[in-house]
Structure 1
Amino acid sequence: MMNMGVSPTDLVIDLSIRYGFKILGAIVILAGGLLVARWIGNIVHSWIGRQRIEPPVRVLIVRAIRMVVVLLTLIVVIDNLGVQITPFLAGIGVAGVGIGLALQGVLSNVVAGLTIIFTKPYRVGEYIELAGEQGEVKMIDLFSTTLAHPDLSKVVIPNRKIVGEILHNFGTMRQLHLKVGVAYDTDLNSMLSLVRQILEESTYVLKEPLPLVGIGMLDEFAIMISVRPWVKVDDYEAACAELYQTIVERFQVARIAIPLPQREVHLVPAP
């Protein structure tokens, strides 16, 4: 029972002596644990950087190790303060269930992110199309995937919208689908040789796989030539514009006609 005659100063001194060293020790332990977590994380990050591991997996491993060290430090701090660990852990478990129910969407993104990271349906630098969007993969994290759109905008897709959907992965190169029409009286062998020469001279067209060039369709007014070379993802738009321009210019020099649609109109006299 507290003596009512004790002065406030004596009470403060008594509490400082009784709990001050514990609080100071807890602060020291917490600060040391944070430093150790950072130090271990840097060592693991340096070691993983020399391994053939995807960047998202590296970040995940480093964060998980740091989090484990911090949690162990917090347990030691709480124990040093004289707090019973068992009720504390039980309270954390109950709180965790409530937080999990409140953050179902976030947790589903995390689970989907882990699935993407470890199954690797696509990687950073590849061009993909899914959920009505397409672009080059710039970042994969636990919550979302960021795509760079051809118009230089960014598309951020929650990971839960990706897992289970149909995914079209173009990889690091794309195939152009060019079409050009020539007249029916054109020397096809010479014309196809000219197109192949244009593709060989282009700095955008990849040497492997070999470009596909041939007759794609017999149209009503022209023979449609299908030109399908492969280019890098970043060169898609520029290569398409350059090749079309070069084909038109070289056809004009070689006097290869690109016919326009025509219609024959017969006038029938009125009865």
Structure 2
Amino acid sequence: MSDLEAPLSRGSGPIHRLDPRARLLALLVFSLPVALVHSQASALAALGFGLLALALTRPAPGLVLRRLLAVNAFTAFLWVFLPLDGQGEALFRLGPLAYSHEGTRLALLLTLKTNAAFLAVTALVGTIAPQDLGRALQALGLPEKFCHLLLMTHRYLFVIQREFRRLLTAAEARGFKPRTNGHTYTTYAWLLGMLLVKSWDRAERVHQAMLCRGFNGRFHSLADFSYGARDAVFLTLAVLASAAVAGLPFLRGVS
């Protein structure tokens, strides 16, 4: 299993012992106020709760750090462009460009909210094995076809990725070197076309194999979920944390 194939699901932290359905509900309850708040204090509180949830998963620091860097590579663009909206008081100037205080504040708010949401998703969903995730979503009432599509996509996305690498390695063994010219673009187009044909052929073979094994449109999981007192306590704490994130601006206003 590669680093991309849910490595966090193999842990043994307190989060892993929770019912996957409770974790999904907790994420839903927590993500709504995180997405809607406009206060930096609330965003900081959400980030703190996300860090706490992640600590309970006991992840490998290097894995989380790599993913955080990937996420914040996108938020870095917010810091470049949002302060240049030209509205509000100028924080500082770089020649003709003025970085506004309001734009910088908005970039900080979005960065905090993005990282808080990422940490929550990593802790609550990244720790669920893919086969259990589909079963939990189905138990929560999502359409079966959606859950099947999620499971099959996760299963064969990495297969297609390895197949593309194999095709690319074969092309490089024959002297192909990527450049910015028509030959490179044509080669990549042929590689993608071959990948599409191979993926279609594999899908047909997998479907036939599933039918031979009695597949009738419904996946049967061996996962046995058990919702207990520990899950209820965790879900209650998630609701309280969400209420704290949503209500913090009002509490600060009252004080």
| TM-score tier (shorter) | under 0.3
User: In proportion to residue count, which structure has more strand?
Assistant: 1
User: In proportion to residue count, which structure has more helix?
Assistant: 2
Q: Please give the TM-score of this superposition, normalised by the length of structure 2.
A: 0.21
Q: Please give the TM-score of this superposition, normalised by the length of structure 1.
A: 0.20
The higher relative CO (CA closer than 8 Å, separation ≥ 6) is in 2
Decide which structure has the larger Cα Rg and report it: 1
